[in-house]
Structure 1
């Protein structure tokens, strides 16, 4: 885990602001669903369902790719390679 050197206080309702720099670096936007996990004394926050959704899209792209012409298969493979990064 990487220390960011950022400290925030909980407000009276238990809210904490995620700094803009962190939101921007993670691609999080207003309304982004996030999920939280507890690990001993740590809290982990990540986009909700992002990995699962990504795997579903990759599976669908692979199925579509097999039904296309060779040229189209190469194009779809480039998209798959990009998404897998």
Structure 2
């Protein structure tokens, strides 16, 4: 039994190779060499997107922490009023 590929298998491989070469050439002509998608460029764009998401996530977390009870001057004044009225009640009893 021969391990050599037959002629029928070689024809589609060569056609596919030529087609991929033509697509690559057309892409470079249409979008330019600087904008051709590569694995390195895809990876870098993914890293940049991850960093941007992390910055946005940190900003949202910071804003939410500012909104928690007791962080605003108004809520601190409310808490002080509640605390002072509780103190007055304790003094009365």
> Relative to total residues, which structure has the larger helix share, 1 or 2?
2
Which protein has greater RCO, CA pairs closer than 8 Å, 6+ apart?
1
> Relative to total residues, which structure has the larger strand share, 1 or 2?
1
TM-score by length of 1: 0.33
| Greater Rg over alpha carbons, structure | 2
